[in-house]
Amino acid sequence: MFSAAALAILVTMLLVLIRAYKGPTVYDRILAVNSFGTLTMLLISVYGFLTDRPEFLDITMVYALINFIGTIAVSKFVRFGDLAPPVPENDPGDI
């Protein structure tokens, strides 16, 4: 049963990749890659169950963190062209 789920996830990944390839704007691609990350999390977990090694869930957790930070960072980079916050030049900042 897990292999059926893994197969479905793989097919879905293929469909999502098609959107990432076609996507007219860069935002479509980011959206597709974000979904791809979620699907990767699912695939890692399902693979862990498939091979009876639930330690894979730790990797899933780390992947969830990376996926979140990565999507936010890429969105911000595309929006500002820079990862530093857009502060005025003479603003000393918080600390």
Partner 1 sequence: MEMLIDIASWVLLLGGSVFILIGAIGLIRLPDMFSRMHGAGIIDTMGALMLFAGMMLQAGLTMVSVKIFLIILFLMFTSPTTTHALARAALDAGQEPIRDDDPTDEIELALMRELEEERKRLSKT
User: Shortest approach of partner 1 to residue 80 CB, angstroms?
Assistant: 9
Question: Interface with partner 1 includes 59 (CB under 8 A)?
Answer: no
Question: Interface with partner 1 includes 68 (CB under 8 A)?
Answer: yes
- Which tokens in the block code for residue 91? 């603003």
AA letter at 25: T
25: left (phi over 0), alpha (psi -120 to 50) or beta: beta
Three-point CA angle 13, 15, 46, nearest 5°: 25
Number of neighbours of residue 34 by Cβ within 10 angstroms: 19
Candidate list 28, 51, 66, 87; residue touching partner 1; CB under 8 A:
28
Question: Interface with partner 1 includes 35 (CB under 8 A)?
Answer: yes
The residues binding partner 1 (CB under 8 A) are: 1-2, 4-5, 8-9, 11-12, 15-16, 18-19, 25, 27-28, 30-32, 34-35, 38-39, 41-42, 45-46, 49, 54, 57-58, 60-61, 64-65, 67-68, 71-72, 75-76, 78-79
